[in-house]
Amino acid sequence: MGAEREQRTRAGDAAGGDIREPVGVTEKVAFLSQPAAYHRRPEKVEVVETHWSWVFLAGDWVYKLKKPVASQRFDFTTLAGREENCRKEVALNRRLAGEIYDGVARLTREVDGHLAIDGEGEIVDVLVVMRRLPEASMLDRLIARRELSPRMVTRLAARLAGFYADQPPVPLAPAAYRERFGRELASDRAVFSAFHDGIATPHLLLAERMHEALLAKGALLEERARAGRIVEGHGDLRPEHVCMAEPIVIFDCLEFSDELRQVDSLDEIVFLGLECAMLGADWVAPQLLDEVQARLGVPASGELVCLYTAARALLRARLCLSHLLDPVPAAPDRWPPLAARYAAKADEALARLGV
Instruction: Determine the Cα–Cα distance for residues 88 and 94; give it in Å rounded to an integer.
Output: 10
Q: Are residues 125 and 178 in the same domain?
A: no
Q: Are residues 121 and 145 in the same domain?
A: no
CA-CA distances (angstroms) from residue 198 to 201, 204, 311? 5, 10, 22
Where does a domain end: 132, 160, 182?
A: 132
Q: Are residues 162 and 125 in the same domain?
A: no
The pTM of the full predicted model, rounded to 2 decimals, is 0.90
What is the per-residue burial (b if ≥16 Cβ within 10 Å, else e) of 208-236? ebbbebbeebbebbbebbeeebbbbbbbb
Sequential pLDDT tens for the chain (355 residues):
444 333 333 333 333 444 456 789 999 999 999 999 999 999 999 999 988 899 999 999 999 999 999 888 889 999 999 999 999 999 999 999 998 999 999 999 999 999 999 999 999 999 999 999 999 999 999 999 999 999 999 999 999 999 999 999 999 999 999 999 999 999 999 999 998 777 888 999 999 999 999 999 999 999 999 999 999 999 999 999 999 999 999 999 999 999 999 999 999 999 999 999 999 999 999 999 999 999 999 888 999 999 999 999 999 999 999 999 988 888 999 999 999 999 999 999 999 999 9
Handedness of CA 269, 275, 277, 279 (dihedral sign): negative
Q: What is the CATH number of the domain that holds 205?
A: 3.90.1200
**65-93 confidence digits (pLDDT tens):** 999 998 888 899 999 999 999 999 999 99
Q: Are residues 68 and 162 in the same domain?
A: no
Q: Are residues 195 and 263 in the same domain?
A: yes
pLDDT attached to residue 20: 52
CB 308 within 8 A of CB 224: no
Q: Are residues 147 and 127 in the same domain?
A: no
Question: What are phi and psi for residue 200, nearest 5 degrees?
Answer: -95, -5
Q: Are residues 25 and 171 in the same domain?
A: no
Where does a domain end: 101, 132, 163?
A: 132
Where does a domain end: 116, 132, 148?
A: 132
Structural domain containing residue 337: 139-352
Q: Are residues 100 and 232 in the same domain?
A: no
Q: Are residues 143 and 269 in the same domain?
A: yes
Instruction: Determine the Cα–Cα distance for residues 134 and 137; give it in Å rounded to an integer.
Output: 6
Instruction: Determine the Cα–Cα distance for residues 353 and 52; give it in Å rounded to an integer.
Output: 36
pLDDT attached to residue 15: 38
Handedness of CA 15, 18, 24, 25 (dihedral sign): negative
- Number of structural domains (the chain) is 2
Q: Are residues 169 and 107 in the same domain?
A: no
Per DSSP, 68 falls in state S
